[in-house]
């Protein structure tokens, strides 16, 4: 049976590990692996290649994705989806593994209802905001990249009396911000899921400053658009010399951590196993309580990820 | 209630996160935290200090342990254990959290049977070789330190035709070696748990070399004492220019990863919660399938850790 | 003779190496080293301590400065400068080593003209913008921190079709931006010293995009305040999905590189040697063509640093 | 004019920067660049390719060398050197840039005396042991890789009472060992150039241990073959629990530092400029006192590198 893999949407560390394992393991199972380059755009344009071992040699330690990714407005049009299907048919590809997030899964859901394509999603986004799975590929690397930046800021913070505002990724989900704030001991954490009361915090911080606090670290999730506001407030109300760092796409790069490599392998094996054995269509591989499972694509895309309340409570302890 | 924390045996990244959380959380619970410096040696000598928040400020990103550790031959003698108990009694310490491995837990087991001390162990060793828990504090950081070294070696390996033998820690347990070999794509992995058949591997590698292989990476667990033998074999039998790296204590150092900080926090909270609520004596906090639990110290110290057979099978795929 | 060391203004990696060497080498020379904590603020408030070897043990690998730093508006007033001098006199401190930048040297110049204090400056600022010296302590570490961030961005850039704008430090000096742009192969570099012609660049880039360019990296020096403008232009005129990273104070942190440690040592030795042997007052240690020298503080503070035109020409080759 | 570049002997970080600049700059000068793959072996076998910009895109941050390297016993035979020359003639290559060390330069010296080939060497070896140049490409990256390892060991060292022996590269030259020992504050440094007197050191260390020293770090240059002896001595005579790390080829890998990238660029520009303008044959580009120059290949290969006595004296201060 011919199986193909592609990346879709924002890239994340660990994609290369999943791609490599997909190729090696599909061969091990006696089947034929294909690579689709440039995501949905490449699927439409026919950038599809029968994979060889050498295509995926020496890629485990590389960030990004060797088969690249894309966002594809064209894929919203039936005509292009049809063209994409024709490309798959030409190579007799019966199963498709897609590394991506919510949006990509929704696109594939539509696609797989229209055409005879079996699809398995691997949740891949550093935002960690996909319903039904505790872990999305790439999150561990992103957290450690943020940590490294915060450790560097701590060096300079402890030298001086200063406030730092660090903006991390997270459009609708504060996961990266919350874990980073907890693990770096930040004083302030602002995320989309929680209303932040500057007045309450102000009281508390003024008390601490009176007791000798000389350093404030605030982590802000990008999606809140609060970075400049918080910086201004620290400067004006608390009278701290305040500096802003916006980490941006650094968070998507870097050599994947050991955990993201192992998870990339495991996700790929789960996906291939499912495509080869099951008639059950259109699933997403999920990881919960240390074990892998499968969820219907409909369930994953129709519900909204909720951040673990235990995490939020660890945060409350801090601020 | 007064509670104390100490480190015992080899140090591991994440110890400082656990120590900090122990202090902060014990205060949150309205109790009194103590720090015991220099492990069992310090317990005997009375290096015990009532903790303040400031003792544990700014330590999250540091490797090692700010309260240090030790190995204590004296603790094998009853007389010194009695002296240790007197020190605890002097401060009215009723519960003791110990970060350490097998040997430390065994020592505490003896101690807690002789004297009225309640004890909770936090499995802390980069070897990941403690029965009853999938994870020991420090392992994730060690794996990433090894990975970073292997990625560097890969750079030079791909330039040249060469074989590399890298010795990693693991006295009786090949966990670090196996995960490192899988996640770096090593061709050879030698661990205490598995007999390694050089002849079978030789056939396979000679075939691959004939097909163009220009690079061999072998990971060897320290406990096998096979490093020099494997290097000699690669040089003589396979005629590869062979270089040896012995990572040694680099693997115990470095800023702890985000995961080890979060685990350090969680382990500490579990330990304090148990000491405060339960009459059930002498437990070890364990982590399995994504959840924390408690095991009797007897169970943990009387059984031998077995490496996950699924991990070993991932390895077989590779070599 | 009693000598003291202090840090002033923004901190920079390598300060701890200089502080350690100052202490150790002053002892070696048979004299008495003092530490002034919290910069000019501490000098005014008398935060002065006779140094011991143990004060500076284990600090070589730490970022920031263990004796901290400050900016001191009070020092602009004669009354506080007088108080500062009284503090030095109390400890019989005859020579003062100051790690800092232009502003700090100017403050010390005034101070040393008013009171009987001999002063030696060590140029310390990651901006590398002090007249008369090719190198300021901390620059090498900052460059490598930026490089590490750009390498991570490159990973994600090569996966996707995108433009990245990265803001680096440099108020009036584009040194960090220029060297970072050259060594990362950036397509655009915007610095205070050079007028940037978006139209010329636009022509050139549009040509390259037509030829297949899928990735644009722009480095912008903070002092130009052009970050948002360039990002908007890339998005609107060149129609690239554009992302912004503002590195901020990450650039001041991190373990100092080997070069910054060695330079910290050498700068400190030069400073102490000069204070002990010479009656020539108020100098700055400079480093040019691989050799150390001394310049009058007046010369250093009255002239403006000019970026090396050879560096700028390497940049022209690129864009 | 057609020019070619090749790497020879051990690889070093920064090679890719030099290769990229060679290609880009040769084009800028209106000439034709060639790449020779696999070093002298490739030169013999005709692995020569006319370079395009795309061959060297995206390689600045990679360790190793994309055109690889080799050691070539065949090149000692006239017959193969003649074959190598025929390959150059076929492509009308008139000038050759070689990144390598002493041995490679000697081979090229012979070659260029026999055949009409103009040759420029770029000193490239992490050992920093080439006569006539203060700096060899790759040294700065290697020093920082060692530093990173020593910083990690320091973490664990400060937790425990222990001695560490770290073996670094350096066959006949102690440069890496000496600079690493100075910049990490090591207590012992053993290099080929200096006889080490264990008895003197023993006295001194025993004194310090009596005064409370709990940690000993020894750096040993590989070429001395003293690693095990020193470890045994620390264990037996000083009774420290002693651990050995052999860094090995980690030191050759890793993303090149900013300095090695800039030096790679500069070395390449110097080499190309010389080949294009001068009739003066067979030179090595050297770097001294912050400036580039050229030395006759005979001078470079006939004399022996001497380590800077100032460096050695900094070491004496420490131990």
Angle between helix axes B139-157 and B175-184 (nearest 10 degrees) is 40
Kindly list the residues of chain C whose beta carbon comes within 8 Å of any beta carbon in chain A.
7, 10-11, 13, 15, 62-65, 68-71, 145, 149, 151-162, 164, 166, 241, 243-250, 252-254
Q: What are the chain A neighbours of C155 within 8 Å (beta carbons)?
A: 13, 62-64, 252-254
More confident position, C281 or D220: D220
Q: How far is CA B199 from CA B177, B205, B312, in A?
A: 21, 10, 19
Please answer whether residues A133 and A139 qualify as being in contact, where contact means their C-beta atoms are separated by less than 8 angstroms.
no
Nearest CB partner across the interface for A140, out of B150, B182, B259? B259
Beta-carbon separation of A151 and B314 below 8 A? no
The pLDDT value given to residue C319: 42
| Degrees, nearest 5: CA angle B1-B2-B4 | 140
Average pLDDT, integer, range A287-312: 94
Strands of chain D, DSSP E? 2-7, 32-36, 48-50, 93-100, 118-123, 162-168, 188-190, 215-221, 242-246, 283-288, 291-296
Cα separation, B264 vs B20, whole angstroms? 9
When pLDDT is cut at 50, 70 and 90, the band that residue A316 belongs to is low
The pLDDT value given to residue C178: 97
The pLDDT value given to residue D208: 86
Catalytic residue among A45, A127, A129, A266: A127
Residue B117 has pLDDT above 70, yes or no: yes
Angle between helix axes B258-277 and A175-184 (nearest 10 degrees) is 70
Please answer whether residues B255 and B62 qualify as being in contact, where contact means their C-beta atoms are separated by less than 8 angstroms.
yes
When the pLDDT of each residue in chain B is averaged and rounded to a whole number, the result is: 93
The pLDDT value given to residue D316: 59
Hey, of C159, C241, C247, which one would you mutate to test binding to chain A, going by the most A CBs within 10 A of its CB? C159
Cα separation, D26 vs D293, whole angstroms? 19
Report strand pairing: A2-7 vs A93-100. parallel
The pLDDT value given to residue C301: 93
Mind telling me how many Å the CA of C245 is from chain A's nearest CA?
A: 5
Residue B317 has pLDDT above 70, yes or no: no
B220-238 pLDDT per residue, tens: 999 999 999 999 999 999 9
Chains meeting C at 3+ CB pairs closer than 8 A?
A, D
**DSSP three-state, residue D97:** strand
Please answer whether residues A98 and A8 qualify as being in contact, where contact means their C-beta atoms are separated by less than 8 angstroms.
yes
- Burial degree of B304 (CB within 10 A; 0-12, 13-18, 19+): exposed
C52-87 pLDDT per residue, tens: 999 999 899 999 999 999 889 999 999 999 999 999
CB pairs under 8 A between B and D: 119
**The token pair that represents C218 in the structure block:** 């722009």
Cα separation, B59 vs B110, whole angstroms? 32
Strand partners, D95: D3, D118
B279-292 pLDDT per residue, tens: 778 999 999 999 99
Q: How far is CA C293 from CA C108, C180, C266, D76, in A?
A: 19, 27, 11, 48
Q: What are the chain A neighbours of B317 within 8 Å (beta carbons)?
A: 24-25, 28
The pLDDT value given to residue B211: 85
Cα separation, B41 vs B39, whole angstroms? 5
B41-89 pLDDT per residue, tens: 999 999 999 999 999 998 999 999 999 998 899 999 999 999 999 999 9
Token pair 């055409």 is found at A115
Average pLDDT, integer, range B97-115: 94
Q: What are the chain D neighbours of C291 within 8 Å (beta carbons)?
A: 289
**The token pair that represents B172 in the structure block:** 């009786």
Q: What are the chain C neighbours of D261 within 8 Å (beta carbons)?
A: 147, 182-183
Beta-carbon separation of A159 and C7 below 8 A? yes
Please answer whether residues D218 and D190 qualify as being in contact, where contact means their C-beta atoms are separated by less than 8 angstroms.
yes
Residue of D nearest to B12 (CA): D156
Nearest CB partner across the interface for B64, out of D68, D71, D155? D155
When pLDDT is cut at 50, 70 and 90, the band that residue B318 belongs to is very low
User: What ipTM was predicted for this assembly?
Assistant: 0.95
Beta-carbon separation of B288 and A288 below 8 A? no
Q: Label residues C104-140 b or e (16+ Cβ within 10 Å = b).
A: bbbbbbebbeeeebbbbbbbbbbbbbbbbbbbbbbbb
Please answer whether residues C57 and C100 qualify as being in contact, where contact means their C-beta atoms are separated by less than 8 angstroms.
no
Judged by average pLDDT, the poorest of A130-144, C53-67, D191-205, D297-311 is D191-205
Nearest CB partner across the interface for A159, out of C11, C166, C250? C11
* DSSP 8-state assignment for residue B95: E
* DSSP 8-state assignment for residue B249: G
What are the pLDDT tens digits along chain C (319 aa)?
999 999 998 889 999 999 999 999 999 999 999 999 999 999 999 999 999 999 999 899 999 999 999 889 999 999 999 999 999 999 999 999 999 999 999 999 999 989 988 999 999 999 999 999 999 999 999 999 999 999 999 887 766 778 999 999 999 999 999 999 999 999 999 999 998 877 888 888 899 888 888 889 999 999 999 999 999 999 999 999 999 999 999 999 999 999 999 999 999 999 999 999 977 789 999 999 999 999 999 999 999 999 999 899 888 544 4
Please answer whether residues B81 and B110 qualify as being in contact, where contact means their C-beta atoms are separated by less than 8 angstroms.
yes
- How many other β-carbons are positioned within 10 Å of the β-carbon of residue D136? 28
Mind telling me how many Å the CA of D280 is from chain B's nearest CA?
A: 32
When pLDDT is cut at 50, 70 and 90, the band that residue D318 belongs to is very low
Mind telling me how many Å the CA of B184 is from chain A's nearest CA?
A: 7
Q: What are the chain B neighbours of A60 within 8 Å (beta carbons)?
A: 183-185
Cα separation, D19 vs D27, whole angstroms? 13
Assess whether A45 carries a catalytic annotation.
no
Q: What are the chain B neighbours of D243 within 8 Å (beta carbons)?
A: 248-249
Report strand pairing: D32-36 vs D48-50. antiparallel
The pLDDT value given to residue B316: 58
Please answer whether residues B105 and B301 qualify as being in contact, where contact means their C-beta atoms are separated by less than 8 angstroms.
yes
Cα separation, C146 vs C250, whole angstroms? 9
Average pLDDT, integer, range D235-264: 95
**The token pair that represents D170 in the structure block:** 């350096």
D105-144 pLDDT per residue, tens: 999 999 998 998 899 999 999 999 999 999 999 999 999 9
Beta-carbon separation of C317 and D154 below 8 A? no
Beta-carbon separation of D63 and B157 below 8 A? no
Beta-carbon separation of D152 and B243 below 8 A? no
Q: What are the chain A neighbours of C143 within 8 Å (beta carbons)?
A: none
Contacts of A175 (CB under 8 A, 6+ apart): A127, A128, A129, A139, A307, A311
B245-273 pLDDT per residue, tens: 999 999 999 999 999 999 999 999 999 99
Kindly list the residues of chain B whose beta carbon comes within 8 Å of any beta carbon in chain A.
17, 20, 24-25, 28, 58, 60-61, 134, 140, 143-144, 146-148, 150-151, 154, 158, 179-180, 182-185, 255, 257-259, 261-262, 265, 288-291, 314, 317
Beta-carbon separation of A259 and B261 below 8 A? no
Beta-carbon separation of B250 and D68 below 8 A? no
Question: Which residues of D are annotated as catalytic?
Answer: 127
Q: What are the chain A neighbours of C180 within 8 Å (beta carbons)?
A: none
Beta-carbon separation of C159 and A247 below 8 A? no
* DSSP 8-state assignment for residue A284: E
Beta-carbon separation of A69 and C155 below 8 A? no
Q: Is the CA virtual torsion C130, C132, C137, C138 positive or negative?
A: positive
**DSSP three-state, residue D184:** helix
Cα separation, B165 vs B184, whole angstroms? 13
Tell me the helix, strand and coil percentages in chain B, rounded to 5: 45, 20, 35
């Amino acid at each position: 049976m011919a199986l193909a893999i592609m990346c879709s949407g924002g890239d994340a560390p660990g994609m290369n590990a999943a791609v490599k394992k997909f190729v090696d393991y599909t061969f091990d199972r006696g089947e034929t692996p294909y690579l689709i380059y440039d995501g949905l755009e490449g699927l439409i344009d026919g950038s599809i290649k029968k994979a060889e071992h050498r295509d995926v040699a020496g890629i485990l330690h590389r960030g990004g994705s060797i088969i690249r990714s894309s966002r594809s407005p064209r894929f919203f049009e039936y005509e292009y989806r049809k063209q994409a299907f024709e490309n798959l048919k030409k190579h007799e590809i019966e199963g498709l593994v897609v590394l991506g997030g919510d949006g990509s899964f929704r696109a594939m859901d539509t696609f797989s209802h229209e055409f005879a394509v079996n699809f398995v999603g691997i949740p891949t986004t550093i935002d960690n905001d996909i319903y039904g799975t505790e872990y999305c590929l790439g999150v561990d690397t992103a957290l450690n990249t943020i940590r490294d930046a915060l450790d560097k800021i701590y060096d300079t913070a402890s030298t001086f009396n200063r406030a730092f505002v660090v903006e991390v990724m997270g459009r609708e989900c504060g996961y990266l911000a919350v874990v980073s704030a907890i693990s770096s001991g930040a004083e302030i954490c602002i995320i989309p899921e929680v209303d932040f009361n500057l007045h309450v915090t102000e009281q508390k911080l003024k008390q601490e400053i009176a007791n000798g606090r000389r350093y404030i670290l605030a982590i802000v999730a990008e999606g809140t658009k609060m970075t400049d506001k918080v910086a201004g407030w620290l400067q004006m109300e608390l009278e701290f010399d305040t500096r802003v760092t916006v980490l941006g796409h650094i968070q998507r790069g870097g050599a994947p951590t050991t955990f993201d490599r192992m998870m990339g392998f495991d996700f790929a094996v789960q996906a291939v196993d499912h495509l080869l054995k099951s008639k059950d269509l259109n699933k997403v591989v999920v990881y919960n309580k240390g074990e892998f499972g499968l969820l219907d694509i409909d369930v994953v895309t129709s519900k909204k990820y909720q951040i673990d309340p235990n995490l939020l409570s660890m945060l409350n302890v801090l601020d």
